[in-house]
Amino acid sequence: MSNNTDIESRCRHDVDDILAAFARAGFTDVATQPLWETRRRYENREQYLTEIAARTGRSILHELSDVELAELVEYLRGCLAPGELIERDRWTLWTAVVPSSEVP
């Protein structure tokens, strides 16, 4: 599954690269704010695992073979509590200040 980890990593930009891009563009006071979005609530882990097994709404799961997907589902079954499950996505909000000499 390491190739799939590489695929997921390429979807995320390195923080240092983003900070450097802001600096090159002349922005200052760059800050981040993490945001958590509730994607979905599941009554139990089996409801969640059924969705994972169907590859619903998660493009990265299409990179897995059927065997790898089955291994992932079993791994998650062993890690997740049997009760309600709340799936959340983490987002990062970036803010920066335009230098006053560049504001029209």
Q: Is this model's pTM higher than 0.85 or not?
A: no
CB-CB neighbours of 79 under 10 Å: 8
Tokens 């619903």 correspond to 56
Which tens digit of pLDDT belongs to each residue from 58-97?
Answer: 778 888 999 999 999 999 999 999 899 999 999 999 999 9
- Phi, psi values for residue 90, rounded to 5°: -100, 130
| Single-letter residue type at 26 | G
∠ CA 85-14-18 to the nearest 5 degrees? 115
Both tokens of 36, joined, read: 């958590």
Q: What is the DSSP letter of 99?
A: -
Kindly list the domain boundaries of the chain, sorted by start residue: 2-102
